[in-house]
Amino acid sequence: MSRDQRTADFEPQRGRLTRLAYRMLGSLAEAEDVVQDAWIRWVRVEEGVDVPAAYLTRIVTRLCLDRLKSARARRETYIGPWLPEPLITPTDGQPFIADDVTVTLMLAMERLSPLERAAFLLHDVFDVPLKDVAVTLERDPAAIRQLASRARKNVRRERVRYTLETAEAERIARAFFNAAKHGDAAALAALLAEDVEIHSDGGGKVVAFRNVVRGVDHVLRLFARLRRKERPSPVLLRTAVIDGLPGYISRYPDGSVGTTALDVHDGRIRSIYIVRNPDKLTHIAQVLTSVGD
């Protein structure tokens, strides 16, 4: 098969393969590397392939499983809470529908074994037939069914779909930014759920909360304390959809940028995910450039 035909078969799959790799690894940069490795392997295949999409899915999944071994070892020594590299998707005025795989669900998937994670993503999220998942993971279909079932039970609470109008998503994001910036306890209390959590990822490279902050009382005291220190405040650059959740991109006084994603249920913010690790934000500059920042 010619290289041109290989390219014609591969390029329509690139976006789907990147999404799969990103959701397996939590890193857009690593996902793109995996897809590039898959391309190199694809062009070297000499025999004909009846279903390129299925074949490429197998390549990418297996490459991700190999990388997960070292990724998990790195996360054991990671400084502070680990969050996936924020993936920004555009808003176009359509109703805001949470992605099947939000940052909340990706964190829940960290509890799964690599095989459980792969089985769940392939079968439940990417709708890959069970028999094809079995071939990809080199297990019999009964074993794959058990893997997917265990994974499903582990992440059931975090896989809740909800619809939020774009205007409402932006309103909540802006309201939270302003309330947090000014340490407005009353406004924050009106926005936050009782069991709210803050996950802040600085990777040991910038100032961030070293532990997950849990409970509305702790969160309110935290923002009040930050306000009393009278430090220069971040600037809101734009609202955004971040890993399937409403949120925003902000710039800090030192010139660095960060993302904040908000998991909203029943009109209240249940989880707040702040990424400040500069290694995870290199692609954000492209997003900002595209909107003229």
Q: What is the mean pLDDT of residues 87-94?
A: 65
Residues 286, 204 share a domain: yes
d(CA 121, CA 43): 26
Report whether 240 contacts 166 (CB < 8 A). Answer: no
Q: Per the domain annotation, does 84 fall within a domain? A: no
Which of 111, 141, 160 is at the close of a domain?
160
Q: What is the mean pLDDT of residues 68-75?
A: 80
Structure confidence at residue 289 as a pLDDT band (50, 70, 90) = low
What is the bridge-based pairing of β-strands 245-251 and 235-242?
antiparallel
Residues 115, 195 share a domain: no
- Looking at residue 220, its pLDDT comes to 93
- Looking at residue 91, its pLDDT comes to 55
- Looking at residue 225, its pLDDT comes to 83
d(CA 218, CA 225): 10
Q: Per the domain annotation, does 87 fall within a domain? A: no
Tens digit of pLDDT for each residue in 211-241?
999 999 999 998 888 777 656 788 999 999 8
Structural domain of 138: 99-160
Structure confidence at residue 288 as a pLDDT band (50, 70, 90) = confident
Residues 281, 167 share a domain: yes
CATH of the domain at 28: 1.10.1740
d(CA 216, CA 108): 21
- Looking at residue 56, its pLDDT comes to 96
Q: What is the mean pLDDT of residues 181-192?
A: 93
Question: Which distant-in-sequence residues (6+ apart) come within 8 Å of 78 by Cβ?
Answer: 203, 204
Residues 284, 183 share a domain: yes
CATH of the domain at 120: 1.10.10
CATH of the domain at 250: 3.10.450.50
Q: Per the domain annotation, does 213 fall within a domain? A: yes
Residues 110, 72 share a domain: no
Residues 252, 211 share a domain: yes
Report whether 272 contacts 198 (CB < 8 A). Answer: yes
Residues 169, 127 share a domain: no
Residues 269, 205 share a domain: yes
Residues in the chain: 293
Residue among 189, 191, 161, 215 nearest 267 (CA): 191
d(CA 29, CA 27): 5
Residues 205, 266 share a domain: yes
Residues 174, 137 share a domain: no
d(CA 80, CA 212): 8
Which of 111, 129, 160 is at the close of a domain?
160
Q: Is the pLDDT of residue 109 over 80?
A: yes
Task: Please count the structural domains in the chain.
Answer: 3
Q: Is the pLDDT of residue 285 over 90?
A: no
Which of 160, 183, 212 is at the close of a domain?
160
What are the tokens at 268?
């209240």
Structure confidence at residue 287 as a pLDDT band (50, 70, 90) = low
Tens digit of pLDDT for each residue in 133-183?
999 999 999 999 999 999 999 988 777 656 678 888 899 999 999 999 888
Residue with tokens 């405040």: 233
What are the tokens at 34?
């995996």
Structure confidence at residue 5 as a pLDDT band (50, 70, 90) = confident
Residues 181, 152 share a domain: no
- Looking at residue 64, its pLDDT comes to 97
Q: What is the DSSP string of 22-69?
A: HHHHS-HHHHHHHHHHHHHHHHH--S--S-HHHHHHHHHHHHHHHHHH
Q: Is the pLDDT of residue 79 over 80?
A: yes
Structure confidence at residue 70 as a pLDDT band (50, 70, 90) = confident
Q: Per the domain annotation, does 4 fall within a domain? A: yes
Between 226 and 115, residue with greater pLDDT: 115
Amino acid at residue number 43: V
Residues 266, 190 share a domain: yes
Between 27 and 99, residue with greater pLDDT: 27
